Structure 1
Amino acid sequence: MKLQQLQALIALADGGGIRAAARMLGLSQAAVSKTLRELEQEQRLPLLQRHASGARLTEAGQALLIHARQVAMQLERAHGEMEAMRGQRDARLCIGVTPWLVPTLLPEVVLRFRQRLPEIRLELFEGLLAVALPRLRDGQMDFAIGPLFEPLAQEFHCQPLFSHGGRVFARNGHPALRAQSLSALLEQDWVVNYSPASYRHVLNQLFTRHGLAIAPERLICAQSMALLAGLVQAGMLSYGPEPLLLCPEFAGKVQALSLREDMEEIVIGVISLQGQAHGYAARGFIDCLRQTLRQRMRSPRPEDRALAHMLTLRF
């Protein structure tokens, strides 16, 4: 499998046909057709469905396209990093961050990173996994910092940073605050965050491993912190990271329930594509995060102690 073959596959997918792909690559249509035929012969699979108005990818072609885009993006990153180190180009770093880190740790990490590597163009996403994982897959995002769970490790490289507890919580004054067991909460509406990959993991964390089941329609998925906070204030229960209770949207407005069931620790770490080496900017950001975590764990400030009490470092 050659790079020019993968580039031809990407160009055909983006252009919708051989003619457009040839124009994008600056090659003749015959050269592009030959390159793609050779790729099909090497893989012993039909990758294209050719028709009068153009060509489209088969299921095998779509599967290979995902890898082709990753290869092309990784090569572009390598060129960009070498140019940046020669001073010829600004390097870019794109990161997804789990939402509760934004008001608690992220500002200090970013300031530390800017002092160390001021030439890096930094792009940050509030990286709920449903938002971050597609960007990781297609190479738009360098890495994400978020919860790790077993199915994730089958596709991505996961590097633990710290862990914290998970808590069930409700708005102040909610009748459910008197509940002592999850079994008393199965008729309540819940709002949680999950991705397609983590849905069963969330169900297991909350209910299945305790021998309980909840009607699927009672579990509402919210893909932003604002949605989550708004629906909790509207009266829904939620389950999430304990540090969420320190964030402005929740602090003083919600309370954690005291339940007899134990919640498993949630591990937070760096999530990146398998086989993708971190560049110098990514390594620098991760190191700044580790330094900030160590400093907060030793800090005498009450707000830092409250967070440190919830976290266990894993590096």
Structure 2
Amino acid sequence: MKLHQLQALVAVADTGSIRAAARLTGLSQAAVSKALRELESEQQLSLLLRSAGGVGFTEAGHKVLGHARLVVGQLERANAELGELRGEVAGRLSISVSPWIVPAFLADAVLRFRQRMPGVQLEIFESLTGVALPRLRDGVIDLMVGSFTAAMSVQEFDSEPLLTYQSCVIARRGHPSASKTSLHQLLNEDWVVNYTPASYPSLMRNLFWQHGANIESHRLHCAHSSSLMFELVHHADMLGYCSQPLLVLEPAWAGVQALNLTERFEANHLNIITRRNAMRNATAKCFVDCLLETIKRRSRSAAEKDRMLFDLLTLAF
């Protein structure tokens, strides 16, 4: 495999078409098409599914794409590190953050980072762990700020602890079940939660199964963002499950309350997670430093909102 072939494959995956990939790479459509045809010919496998609607990937194509992202990403990081040695501060940093980190710390951390590294372009994903992890594994992102779960392999990922916090069951204020005190009294309600296929077992274990509570599948609905979950809790009379800090951080969530249940849930551990043995370059180190400084500064604040937030958090540094 040649580097330009892998770069063409990644560009097509990122843009969805040969034409857009050509614009992204600065090559002609003919050059991109030729690189991909040569790659398929050398591997004696069909990698792409071409149609009028765009380009898709065969099973073999997905496998090659995973390796291509790692190779291309590692080369970009090597170029960035060499640029740093030449005194150049430029490049790109891709990160993923848990949803509640966005209103809590992200803006201040980004401001600090931009002051120190104005030449670096940031790409930020707001993702749950189950969504971010494949991107980290494939090299799409450089680091994630999220929960390190039991399903994650310590042979594959490194984790630096930041803090711990709790999650809670929520309902709109005035909901008929808002005064209930046990999960077992809530199993006939409609629920909306965030999960992915990979995170579903751990979610169910923590929320229901460990308490001997079994909920029928048609009662459990999935929303792939916190804002969607809030809308359904607030306006569709569903129950939800979220991190406690969100109830402090989002003014729009004032119409939602945590239920005072006898059941207790496992603590969530927020971590800086990277691929194991992947060197953290200067830009990634700088962003982590900016995030830590932001958290430390907010933890010392006397502002009421900050005090309420840090009453819900236990720092690990």
Q: TM-score if structure 1 supplies the norm length?
A: 0.80
C-alpha distance 306-25 of structure 1, shift in aligned 2 (>3 A):
same
SS in structure 2 at match of 1:186: coil
Query: Structure 2: which amino acid aligns with 1:93?
Result: L
Conservation of the 8 A alpha-carbon contact between 1:244 and 1:250: no
Query: Structure 1: which amino acid aligns with 2:99?
Result: P
Q: 2:140 & 2:46 partners in 1: Cα distance?
A: 28
Give 2:140's aligned residue.
140
SS in structure 1 at match of 2:93: strand
- Which of 271, 295, 298 is the equivalent residue of 1:296? 298
Give 1:128's aligned residue.
128
C-alpha distance 76-295 of structure 1, shift in aligned 2 (>3 A):
same
Conservation of the 8 A alpha-carbon contact between 2:9 and 2:65: no
Deviations for 1:116-167, whole angstroms, at most 9, x for unmatched residues?
Answer: 2222222222223354334323322222212221113365433221110111
Q: 1:172 & 1:58 partners in 2: Cα distance?
A: 49
Give 2:186's aligned residue.
185
Q: 1:79 & 1:250 partners in 2: Cα distance?
A: 44
Question: 5+ unaligned residues in a row in structure 2: which ranges?
Answer: 13-17, 19-27, 51-55
Q: Is 1:74 the counterpart of 2:74 in the alignment?
A: yes
Q: Is 1:267 the counterpart of 2:278 in the alignment?
A: no
Give 1:40's aligned residue.
none
Query: Structure 1: which amino acid aligns with 2:268?
Result: I
Conservation of the 8 A alpha-carbon contact between 1:129 and 1:194: no
Instruction: Report the number of matched residues.
Output: 293
Q: Identity of aligned pairs, percent?
A: 42
C-alpha distance 59-121 of structure 1, shift in aligned 2 (>3 A):
closer
C-alpha distance 121-84 of structure 1, shift in aligned 2 (>3 A):
farther
Q: 1:74 & 1:199 partners in 2: Cα distance?
A: 32
Query: Structure 2: which amino acid aligns with 1:178?
Result: S
Q: TM-score if structure 2 supplies the norm length?
A: 0.80
Conservation of the 8 A alpha-carbon contact between 2:165 and 2:313: yes
Shift in Å at residue 7 of structure 1? 6.0
Query: Structure 1: which amino acid aligns with 2:219?
Result: R
Shift in Å at residue 62 of structure 1? 4.1
Structure label with greater radius of gyration: 1
Aligned counterparts, 1:1-315, within 5 A: 4=1, 8=5, 23-24=31-32, 36=42, 48=45, 59=59, 62-87=62-87, 90-153=90-153, 155-234=156-235, 235-315=237-317
Shift in Å at residue 242 of structure 1? 0.7
Query: RMSD of aligned C-alpha atoms?
Result: 3.2
C-alpha distance 174-32 of structure 1, shift in aligned 2 (>3 A):
closer
C-alpha distance 90-228 of structure 1, shift in aligned 2 (>3 A):
same
Question: 5+ unaligned residues in a row in structure 1: which ranges?
Answer: 38-46
SS in structure 1 at match of 2:254: coil
